[in-house]
Amino acid sequence: MKTRIMLYVSDVETLTEFWQQTLNVKLVNTIQLPKNHFANVLAVDETTELALFSNAFVQEFSPEVADNQPSLMFFVKDLEAAHARIKGATPIVDDAGTRAFGFPDPDGHYFALGEG
């Protein structure tokens, strides 16, 4: 099974670069959409993808989901290295037995990285 998480963002190219730098994801597909819109699909690993759609596209074609914002936590082996690399990261804390920290994307949405 593969999971694709759809994120609605202000600027697909800027957020693509952010995720490439933050989680070292790979751009695996660009989907051409109506009215010159596009979405980028990023492989987090073999079974997980992020698909970045522009807010403008979602507002026009699927306004019922435009305000949906997931709360996502990714797990990495080297939490300290990830923490040092990510601008705006919160301090590392023990979250019910899991060392973790939060960080914002350029749109101000917060995500979490845990050790695992």
Residue numbers of the domain that contains 75 = 71-116
- Alpha-carbon Rg for the chain, nearest whole angstrom, is 15
The per-residue pLDDT for range 68-93, each reduced to its tens digit, is: 988 899 999 999 999 999 989 999 99
Instruction: Residue 58: name the closest of 49, 68, 48 by CA.
Output: 68
Residue 52 maps to which CATH number?
3.10.180.10
Does one domain contain both 63 and 81? Answer: no
Place 30 in a pLDDT band, splitting at 50, 70 and 90: very high
Q: Write down the pLDDT at residue 79.
A: 97
**What is the pLDDT averaged over residues 49-66?**
96
The tally of CA atoms less than 13 A away on the side-chain side of residue 104 is: 5
Burial class (CB in 10 A: 0-12, 13-18, 19+), 55: middle
2: tokens are 């593969």
How much is the pLDDT for 95?
Answer: 80
Task: Based on the fold, state whether residues 3 and 17 are members of the same structural domain.
Answer: yes
Percent of the chain with pLDDT over 70: 100
- Say what the pLDDT of residue 48 is: 97
Q: How many structural domains are present in the chain?
A: 2
- The token pair at 39 is 């979405």
